[in-house]
Structure 1
Amino acid sequence: MEEKMKFLHAADLHLDTPFLGLSDLPNALQQRLIQAPLTALHRLVDLALDEQVDFVLLVGDLFDSQAQSVQAQAALMNELERLHRVQIPVLLSFGNHDFQADLTTWHFPSNVHVFGPQVTTVTLTTNAQEKVAISGFSYSQRWIQTDLTSQYPLKTSAVDYQIGTLHGQVGQAGDHYAPFSVGELLAKHDDYWALGHIHQRQVLNAQPPVVYAGNIQGRHRGETGAKGCLIVTSQPDHTLQSTFKPLTDIIWTDITADLTGTYTRSNLLNALSDQLNQQCHDGLQLVSLMLPTAAQLDANAQLALNQGALLAQLRERATEHWWPVQIEQAVNSAEATSFGVNQATWESAGQQVVTADAIADLAANLLNEDFLNTALLETMTPAQWQAQVMRLLTDQYHVTTGGTNDVD
């Protein structure tokens, strides 16, 4: 049986994530959450050893910030040393969160190659004696507004596989995070593109694969579901196929409760705890609960929800498998606010004021603030942010917009 090439693709470890805004968690749970990225990293190395991969790719944002704690640095070095002991090469890059102006201050084990600020290529020989060329770069500053894909080499017949690593997002020159287009990547004829930066696992192209592995541990309640890495294996037809492997110790989860009819405070509390016990029975899930519009709360239950007493009581019933982060009540779209203004007047104002050009100016001005730019463009392009502002106005406030330009 022909030996297959196999490697591990991971990105966005975000070691040292502070997990802000969760001071109401019990201390033991807070500590477990803070340790969760390190736990996921340890599981990643366990997986690489168990799978006997030929090499490991870590594509940017190893740490959550440019300055790292001694604990996080030591944890990364210890895990890299475990791979060094069995001679598994690691090719890593720094991203926009942990950008490094001076790589000479780092002293990694000899099995580790760190990509510098310019695109370079390293060639490895696998256990099956196949040659694999791997290209990539690191961020030396927080923003890279240049499209660097032109620096990546075309695949040549001198290697069996060509792999590109890139921490960035689809966009155009001037965007902040190493913008690229899928077409540009495919034009290089690489066998696989290992992407980082977007925390949601996704495939931009099936064959050859252009893939975001996502992050290895959800950082907040907006990053729901299992997180992990990809094991990529060569196939008889020379294509590469990836398989998701979960690594998360703690999963953020959104659950809409199955409720209809009218509920007292006691009945609601019992129904919610019963459903959480039924749905959350593996690992630990941090749950954001939504009460559907079909559920009507009596005055006492509504007051308990509004004042946080219901959430506090539900937390008293939490098990080792679930912890309620918040409880929200869905709002019927027919009740969406128009601030008491006649609907016809509201729509007329929207057509005159909320034009595509006005939205573009508003969205662009918000992105001029550094902290907003960093937060918003983690998961979307400027055009997508502009479109989201438009959707918020139309969906949340039922504004009828004017202008002839469509916003993508």
Structure 2
Amino acid sequence: MSIKILAIGDIHLGRKPSRLPHALHQRAHTLSPQAAWEQTIALAIRESVNIVVMVGDVVESDSDYFEALPIVQKGVSALAKHGIPVLMICGNHDAKTLPEVAQFVDQATLLGEGERWQSHPHSTPEGEITFWGWSFAQNHYANSPLETLPAQRNHGLNIGLLHCDRDQSSGYAPVTSNALKNANMDVWLLGHVHQPDSLNGASPSGYLGTLCGLDAGEHGPRGPWIMEIEAGQVVGMTHRPLAPIRWERITIDVDGVATQAEARQRVTRALQALADHLKQSADRPEVVGLRLRYHGACDLSDTDLEAITGKTSTELMGLPGLPEVEYFIDRLEFDLQPTLDLTQLAQRQDQPGLLAQYLLQLDQPAENPARQRLLEQAMTALADDPRHQDWSQIDSTPPQPEQVATWLRLSGQRALRAMLEQQAG
């Protein structure tokens, strides 16, 4: 008989998904972290798990206390009726709020309060399991919590629960991968980073990810994990992507496409491929938010390609091949190359010729000196004027050279087309 542990990453009760089209505004609560939490409780009961653990940021902020309290109470109470205990730790978002919530949720145990490691033994037919937890007491913690982790481990399986920033210099409990590896834990279940890791093997260690995608930046499957233990060993770690909304990014190859009909067929095939992928899982979202990226050498303009998807940016459509799942397009992105001979254009002694030379430089290997100088100049200009409209969609964090190269290539291709069209007109 295997032991099942249901592990939940960051929930952020109180938040609603952002960037929803108007058609979904009245349904936002059914696509929220609360809805994902309720489905997770039902899954835990249905799967007869032995224990549920949560690794911080259960609540979004102090102002969400009164919204979150009855939600947590109801879920934990339902688990308690089926004999399923709950362990949790505080993250940086709910360092103040979760301890207050825990005072009114008798069936849940908060570990590591006051930024002190706390162990919690749990006896099972498959052997002893000890959970080790550490909780934030403030919104920031500049040191590694592993510095105060006791060296001694209990008999049986030892599982660490920690909300932290791995391999980053930050004020959110920074730790290193090596320190985690050397901490003598059998398993590390981590919170804070919203992108889930691939948790495989007999000694999984990594981020559980958010329970529900909170915005378009959190693409891919989201949901809880079920860990199975037999004879004191982890034998399985299964991700259950039951979040009601899922965000995905799809690249449409438009190389050689000459008409809107051809491009529409490629979009349709990509949507059907997504539907086929979703069919493989028993856990399907209600809604999918998509970012479509058109990539390749194509004579169609951005406007031509925008017209293909039409109303899907403001309305919901049934996914081709899986119509019960609705989708909308959150954003269109374009990485188009002109179907022009850049080598020939670069021979010209005019502005299009000079621009063609720069575009050819961007296609050179990363170690090419001319390419490096071009990127250095662009990054300097970007640092001097970060609000320039050409760079408005780049994240506020300093971009990497290849990210700058992509944007230069995109802007340059558009400018080259505009120059040639102006000359032809």
TM-score by length of 2: 0.72
2:317 — aligned with what?
318
Deviates more, 1:344-353 or 1:62-71: 344-353
Alpha-carbon contact 1:273-1:314 (below 8 Å) kept: no
CA gap 1:192/1:339 in 2 versus in 1, 3 angstroms: farther
Alpha-carbon distance between aligned partners in 1 of 2:218 and 2:135, rounded to the nearest angstrom: 25
Spell out the pairing of 1:190-339 with structure 2 (5 A cutoff): 190-203=185-198, 206-236=201-231, 238-239=233-234, 241-257=236-252, 259=254, 260-264=256-260, 272=267, 276=271, 279-280=274-275, 283=285, 284-297=287-300, 302-303=302-303, 310-312=309-311, 318-319=317-318, 320-321=324-325, 322-332=327-337
1:117 — aligned with what?
114
The answer for unaligned runs of 5 or more in structure 2 is 280-284, 319-323, 343-351, 362-369, 387-394, 410-425
- Following superposition, the deviation at residue 91 of structure 1 comes to 1.0
- Following superposition, the deviation at residue 243 of structure 1 comes to 1.8
Pairing 1:176–2:171 present: yes
Alpha-carbon distance between aligned partners in 2 of 1:253 and 1:350, rounded to the nearest angstrom: 30
Alpha-carbon contact 2:299-2:339 (below 8 Å) kept: no
Render the CA deviation track for 1:319-356: whole Å, top value 9, x for unaligned.
2522222223223399999995974888546558969x
Letter in 1 for 2:288: Q
Alpha-carbon distance between aligned partners in 2 of 1:154 and 1:40, rounded to the nearest angstrom: 37
- Following superposition, the deviation at residue 130 of structure 1 comes to 3.1
Spell out the pairing of 1:79-228 with structure 2 (5 A cutoff): 79-100=75-96, 103-104=99-100, 106-115=102-111, 116-128=113-125, 130-156=127-153, 158-171=154-167, 175-203=170-198, 206-228=201-223
1:379 — aligned with what?
none
The answer for unaligned runs of 5 or more in structure 1 is 367-374, 377-384, 399-408
CA gap 1:46/1:348 in 2 versus in 1, 3 angstroms: closer
Letter in 1 for 2:7: H
CA gap 1:117/1:252 in 2 versus in 1, 3 angstroms: same
Other structure's SS at 1:43 match = helix
Alpha-carbon distance between aligned partners in 1 of 2:187 and 2:293, rounded to the nearest angstrom: 40
Alpha-carbon contact 1:273-1:317 (below 8 Å) kept: no
- Following superposition, the deviation at residue 45 of structure 1 comes to 1.4
- Following superposition, the deviation at residue 241 of structure 1 comes to 3.4
Render the CA deviation track for 1:210-252: whole Å, top value 9, x for unaligned.
1211111111112112211221122347345322222211211
RMSD of aligned residue pairs (Cα, Å): 3.9
Alpha-carbon distance between aligned partners in 2 of 1:179 and 1:121, rounded to the nearest angstrom: 19
1:60 — aligned with what?
56
Alpha-carbon distance between aligned partners in 2 of 1:269 and 1:29, rounded to the nearest angstrom: 29
Alpha-carbon contact 2:249-2:291 (below 8 Å) kept: yes
Alpha-carbon contact 1:305-1:311 (below 8 Å) kept: no
1:401 — aligned with what?
none
Render the CA deviation track for 1:372-407: whole Å, top value 9, x for unaligned.
xxx98xxxxxxxx66x53443355447xxxxxxxxx
2:412 — aligned with what?
none
CA gap 1:126/1:311 in 2 versus in 1, 3 angstroms: farther
Alpha-carbon distance between aligned partners in 2 of 1:16 and 1:130, rounded to the nearest angstrom: 38
Other structure's SS at 2:224 match = strand
1:22 — aligned with what?
20
Alpha-carbon contact 2:197-2:209 (below 8 Å) kept: yes
Aligned partner of 1:8 among 6, 20, 41: 6
Alpha-carbon distance between aligned partners in 2 of 1:102 and 1:294, rounded to the nearest angstrom: 53
Give aligned-pair identity as a percent. Answer: 22
Aligned partner of 1:32 among 30, 33, 37: 30
Q: How many residues get paired? A: 364
Alpha-carbon contact 1:121-1:133 (below 8 Å) kept: no
- Following superposition, the deviation at residue 105 of structure 1 comes to 6.0
